[in-house]
Chain A
Amino acid sequence: MFSKETLKKNRAMEGRWRKRVGKKLGEKQLKAQTSGRISLKAVYTPSDIKDINYEDIALPGEFPYTRGFDPLRYQVQGWMMRQPVALGSTKDTRERANFLERLGWGLYIGEEEKNKRAYVGPALDIPSQQGYDPDAPEARGRVGRDGVSLSTMWDIEKLYEGRNLERTEMFWATPDGTLPCVAQYIVYAERHGVAQEKLRFKAGNTTYRQWYWDSAAYPPKEAIKLAPELISYLIKHVPMAQLQGITGYNPAEAGATPVQEVAFGLATAIAITEECIKVGLNPDDFVPNFHGHDHTSLDLFETVAKLRAKRRMWAKIFKERFSCKNPESLRLKNYPQTGGSLLRRNEPENNIIRVTIMALAQVLAGSDGAWTASYDECSNIPSEKAAQIALRTQQIIYHETNIPAVVDPLGGSYYVEWLTKQIEDEAYSLLEEIDRRGGYLKCWESGWLRSELAREARKWQEAIDKGEKVVVGVNKYVVDKGDHLPLFRVDPKVEEEAIGRVRAFRAQRDNERVKVALDALRGALIRIKGDWPASCGIFMPALIDAFRADCTIGEAQGMMKEVLGYGYT
């Protein structure tokens, strides 16, 4: 990338620099490293990036998209604001969404009022995510507490009432329950005269993410089938849907280093793509609508380098490994989230600063979306005030800092380009190891992947325990041990009301029709389990029929767990 002459001059300068540093440091050694333990030098120069092929960096909008896939980025369209909003009852959730929309919240930041679209991304409460209706014994004490309870068509009516569905982008924060939520939404839209072809949503379907913390409904060999099952339905019937979430966030929160996060995320995308090919799909028809969900840490430059490295690797893998021809297949759309495990309960206001730094990393990396946590999320779901500050953080970065004016402002930095390459190289080695071990699913089944994460998680916590890793106000400069967050709690009455509502719903529907529909659902699942991949494509229509018959989320997901799950009784 540099002329011989420049490199020669640089070597001379480096020599002088080393001398000066030697005098300053004497015997002392520098031991800096990134959060993921990549050793760092004190300064980077052309020597560190001279062997990088300039075509690997290229310009924004050019393969391999290291600098982003849009030639102009935020000057033309702001990032997507991925704030999830959900609490207590559907009414509470609507009120919170309305409140934030008055503050300028919408799908894209900076969007003109006339073009504005809504983003509705309800975080479901834990029972709804896990497929328990509010009156299930497993749901006790948990209904509406950590998100909104979504069970029946009545709930969804209340949640979306009055929304123009064609101008709304939906997302359901539920890893195992995506298929039922999508099916329920399609039926809801149908009943309101909106054809499924006109719907926009992001289907997460991140069943695999639950393996990262032993909370999975399905073992790998069954869970993976749900991806082509949903994808093959959506590409035929809901062309504007985003098809599949690829998460790096969850591995990172479970302990993964940035290199592991990149490798495990890409290994996930590879495994899902291979499964889809097995059922006869062409990657160019579905990979363009994959969406990434990555982690952002407080190591700002490492985060930027990681997000750039992942974009580059994605482009190369889908070009070389899967021979994709569609340029959109090579472009990873990425919506990172600020790392929840990095927020602290001691002096919680400091989290506003932590989130701001992480949001800067998301924006400096040219991400397609930004997701800023509320400062009180380390203790509870966001209070109104904290949700407002989280939104304002994004708006201030967008409107007041001038950062969006220039695409990939850190591109070309000796340090950032070196670190991008370093993460890429290490992540490729790890991907090769995953391949050698038989692929992503085998690595779960053997327990190897889980133990790799556990080792890193332990190292991290030990470093905090010993004070080697400083957390301000937690293990250094500690003045106060208590957390003094004004706690935000959901009224326990929400649970009783939800139980009453689901029972009333079941009492008024045609239960004979529900039974027939659920039996058909069981039949489809048994075939998915026993006759794969030939049976692909039969489950989604049966699921949609079940919601046409007014079955609940708990009934549909319960049936999926019964047949495909870990032996639920």
Chain B
Amino acid sequence: MGIHNKRIKVLLAKSDQDAHDRGIRYIAEVLRDAGMEVIFIRYRICDQVARVALEEDVDVIGMSFYSSGYTYDIPVVLKLLNEKGKKVKFILGGIIPSDEVPRLTEMGVSGVFGPDTPTNKVIQCITS
């Protein structure tokens, strides 16, 4: 199988403190139906997200936040990945205020998708 035919491998992650998982579970199904390999984890401490991403050698990380934890978790995960030289496409979902987006983009986040975003936009962002 050539490199171009490789299935895109996506890690979806959500803090186990952050209850509402309806959105990320829906995205998991949509991405799987689009032919991607999807791993979904609930993490206790955000360092675990970077660890799983490295162990599973994923192409994409998607994290979902319905509470404020993203302000702390995202920079930590990105820093841990950078330290290991791991390149991934990093996307976010959930309740992320739009005025945070420029700061997150600068940090290396490729897309921020709030509730009701048409799912083809998420797929487009991953495959572009």
List A residues at the B interface (Cβ < 8 Å): 126-127, 129-130, 132, 137-138, 140-142, 145-146, 210, 213-215, 253-255, 341, 344-345, 378-380, 454, 457-458, 461, 464-465, 471, 474-475, 482-483, 485, 487, 490, 492
In the assembled complex, the Cα of A411 lies from the Cα of B25 at a distance in Å of 40
B68 contacts which of A132, A141, A255 (Cβ < 8 Å)? Answer: A141
Determine if B116 and A344 form an interchain contact, defined as CB atoms under 8 angstroms apart: yes
A553 nearest CB across to chain B (Å) = 14
Determine if A142 and B67 form an interchain contact, defined as CB atoms under 8 angstroms apart: yes
Q: A146-B67, A487-B97 are in contact. Are A127 and B17 (CB under 8 A)?
A: yes
Chain A binder among B1-9, B69-77, B81-89, B102-110: B69-77
Q: Binding site of B, secondary structure by majority: helix, strand, loop or mixed?
A: loop
A464 nearest CB across to chain B (Å) = 6
B21 contacts which of A213, A344, A475 (Cβ < 8 Å)? Answer: A213
Determine if A345 and B114 form an interchain contact, defined as CB atoms under 8 angstroms apart: yes
B95 contacts which of A213, A378, A454, A461 (Cβ < 8 Å)? Answer: A378
Q: How many A-B residue pairs have CB under 8 A?
A: 82
Instruction: Confirm or deny: B56 has a beta carbon within 8 angstroms of a beta carbon on chain A.
Output: no
Determine if B19 and A141 form an interchain contact, defined as CB atoms under 8 angstroms apart: no
Determine if A145 and B118 form an interchain contact, defined as CB atoms under 8 angstroms apart: no
Determine if B97 and A142 form an interchain contact, defined as CB atoms under 8 angstroms apart: no
Question: Which 10 A-B pairs rank lowest in CB-CB distance, beginning with the nearest?
Answer: A141-B72, A145-B68, A215-B19, A213-B19, A126-B17, A213-B21, A146-B67, A140-B72, A457-B22, A461-B26
Chain B residues contacting A457 (CB-CB under 8 Å) are: 22, 25-26
Q: Binding site of A, secondary structure by majority: helix, strand, loop or mixed?
A: loop
**Closest residue of chain A to B16, judged by CB?**
A215
In the assembled complex, the Cα of A487 lies from the Cα of B71 at a distance in Å of 15
Determine if A475 and B69 form an interchain contact, defined as CB atoms under 8 angstroms apart: no
List B residues at the A interface (Cβ < 8 Å): 16-23, 25-26, 29, 42, 44-45, 67-73, 95, 97-99, 114-116, 118-119
**Closest residue of chain A to B97, judged by CB?**
A487
Chain A residues contacting B97 (CB-CB under 8 Å) are: 379-380, 483, 485, 487
**Closest residue of chain B to A140, judged by CB?**
B72
Determine if B42 and A214 form an interchain contact, defined as CB atoms under 8 angstroms apart: yes
B26 nearest CB across to chain A (Å) = 5
**Closest residue of chain A to B71, judged by CB?**
A141
Q: A126-B18, A213-B19 are in contact. Are A137 and B25 (CB under 8 A)?
A: no
Determine if A142 and B17 form an interchain contact, defined as CB atoms under 8 angstroms apart: yes
Q: A142-B68, A213-B20 provided; 9 other pairs, C-beta below 8 A?
A: A141-B68, A141-B70, A141-B72, A214-B16, A215-B16, A253-B20, A379-B97, A471-B116, A483-B97
Give me 21 A-to-B residue pairs in the complex whose CB atoms sit less than 8 angstroms apart, sorted by A's number.
Answer: A126-B18, A126-B69, A132-B17, A137-B45, A141-B68, A141-B69, A142-B68, A142-B72, A145-B67, A145-B68, A146-B68, A213-B19, A214-B21, A215-B19, A345-B115, A379-B95, A380-B97, A471-B116, A475-B116, A483-B97, A492-B71
**Closest residue of chain A to B116, judged by CB?**
A474
Q: A140-B72, A341-B22, A482-B98 are in contact. Are A215 and B17 (CB under 8 A)?
A: yes
**Closest residue of chain A to B20, judged by CB?**
A213
Chain B residues contacting A253 (CB-CB under 8 Å) are: 20, 22
In the assembled complex, the Cα of A454 lies from the Cα of B25 at a distance in Å of 8
Chain B residues contacting A487 (CB-CB under 8 Å) are: 97, 99
Chain A residues contacting B68 (CB-CB under 8 Å) are: 141-142, 145-146, 490
Chain A residues contacting B70 (CB-CB under 8 Å) are: 141
Determine if B18 and A215 form an interchain contact, defined as CB atoms under 8 angstroms apart: yes
In the assembled complex, the Cα of A145 lies from the Cα of B68 at a distance in Å of 6
Chain B residues contacting A483 (CB-CB under 8 Å) are: 97-98, 114
Chain A residues contacting B45 (CB-CB under 8 Å) are: 137-138
Chain B residues contacting A255 (CB-CB under 8 Å) are: 22
**Closest residue of chain A to B43, judged by CB?**
A138
